[in-house]
Amino acid sequence: MYSVSNSTQTNKYLLFQSVRSLEFFSPVIVLFWLSHGLNMTQVMLLQSIYSIGVLILEIPSGAVADYFGKRISLIIGSFIFGLGFILYGFGSSFLQFAIGELVVALGMSLISGVDSAFIHEHLKENDKENQFNAVEGKASSFMQVGRMISSVVGGFIGSVSLGFSLIATGIASIAGSAVALTFTKTSENLDRNENTNYIQIISESLSLIKNNKSLVWITVLYAFFQAILFSIIFLIQPYMLASGVPTEFFGVVFAGCNLLSAIVLFRVDSLQKLFGSKQNMYLIAITSVALVGLGSILSPVAIPLWAVIFTAMSVSRILINRQVLAIIPSNRSATVLSFLNMSRRVVLAVLAPVVGIVSDVFGILWALRFVAALFIAVFLLLKLLRGKRRIAVLS
């Protein structure tokens, strides 16, 4: 059993992640879009707009966090993120939804990667850096429980008003901003009077990635793993509709997916020790089996495989962040982690509309088969290239 720091800062961090994880919209968001006349290609285009929005802001926002402080970035980011969802809930057209996506993207760009870097700094300055994996695993577990509860509640909210499920999500994120206000500034933040400008921060972080082969490969692994899986997340609701699952049970299904993720994430530190250097390959293999299974049958019996996909996305984030933070300076951690997320969004911005088109033209099963084939092909290629260059990321 691992020992997790019980400091006030750590507990506040766990509360922050729990509150901002309340996603009441998740089980009904696709129904919300479809109710306003959108097709799956337009749904995926919205994801590209979101990804491009975050992409434009990701690195500058990471630099702001490193320069002005990660606490400030989390406070402002959570507030803007919540405001975007509230605006989104009152929208009724593709253009209004696109604007909502951009506002949400601005908020997320100030949070993405900064949260992990913030708690990493706190643990490091208190000589508890070895607890990072356990704390992040526990935080992710709490987030999954939050998503599980909010999924069930969101299903009921959506049965009354699909739009209010987004508004409720926005309110929860603003509450998370209030929690972040109570954070104590970590001592490793850059002094605002220090003679370091944004361009220098960004340039130094990109230099770290460029000059470290392992970091380059970790970035590629994370980008494709996360983007490919995220590109099909919005197919789960039409998948359930097509397989005959009653709409009122959508929240329960999402809750089940998040429950499995919470259980696995709570023990992620132990799993990492169990699988050791083979952890990435085991994760890729399990995910490949789940994708092939989903593309083979349209039935309620295959729905547990969606829980595997949800869990794989969460676990990969923890494992990759730990690998990255072990090889970069902490005072550039937020920018480098932001770059990592930026690379994921580049791939997603290109891939999402393609998946939407395949779904609209050929159907959900063919979209899932396409993604499964792409996932396996990409990682077989990376494995082959890794073998030639003797880099241990995919060992």
pLDDT digits (tens, 9 = 90+) for 325-369: 777 776 666 667 767 777 888 889 899 999 999 999 999 999 999
Output the pLDDT for position 339.
74
Q: Please indicate, yes or no, if residue 1 is contained in any of the structural domains.
A: no
Most confident of 61-65, 71-75, 172-176, 203-207: 172-176
Once rounded to an integer, what is the mean pLDDT over residues 226-253? Answer: 88
Look at 333 and 68; give whichever has higher pLDDT. 68
Task: Using pLDDT thresholds of 50, 70 and 90, give the confidence band for residue 278.
Answer: confident
Once rounded to an integer, what is the mean pLDDT over residues 191-195? Answer: 40
Task: Using pLDDT thresholds of 50, 70 and 90, give the confidence band for residue 213.
Answer: confident
Q: Please indicate, yes or no, if residue 3 is contained in any of the structural domains.
A: no
Measured CA to CA, the distance from residue 319 to residue 309 in angstroms comes to 15
Q: Please indicate, yes or no, if residue 381 is contained in any of the structural domains.
A: yes
Q: Please indicate, yes or no, if residue 16 is contained in any of the structural domains.
A: yes
Output the pLDDT for position 200.
60
Output the pLDDT for position 85.
95
Q: Please indicate, yes or no, if residue 344 is contained in any of the structural domains.
A: yes
Output the pLDDT for position 1.
39
Print the domain residue range for 349. Answer: 8-394
Q: Please indicate, yes or no, if residue 148 is contained in any of the structural domains.
A: yes
- In this structure, what CATH number is given to the domain that contains residue 296? 1.20.1250.20
- Is residue 82 predicted with pLDDT exceeding 90? yes
Output the pLDDT for position 130.
75
DSSP 3-state of 260: helix
- N-term to C-term CA, the chain: 27
CA angle 116/374/363 to nearest 5° reads: 105
Measured CA to CA, the distance from residue 358 to residue 347 in angstroms comes to 17
- Is residue 196 predicted with pLDDT exceeding 60? no
Q: Please indicate, yes or no, if residue 2 is contained in any of the structural domains.
A: no
Task: Using pLDDT thresholds of 50, 70 and 90, give the confidence band for residue 2.
Answer: very low
Give the count of domains, the chain: 1
Identity of the residue numbered 117: A
Output the pLDDT for position 330.
67
Measured CA to CA, the distance from residue 381 to residue 377 in angstroms comes to 6
- Is residue 172 predicted with pLDDT exceeding 90? yes
Look at 170 and 195; give whichever has higher pLDDT. 170
Q: Please indicate, yes or no, if residue 217 is contained in any of the structural domains.
A: yes
Token pair in block for residue 137: 């695993």
- Is residue 198 predicted with pLDDT exceeding 60? no
- Is residue 22 predicted with pLDDT exceeding 90? yes
Tell me: the pLDDT tens digits for 285-319? 999 999 999 999 999 999 999 999 988 888 888 77
Token pair in block for residue 253: 């299904």
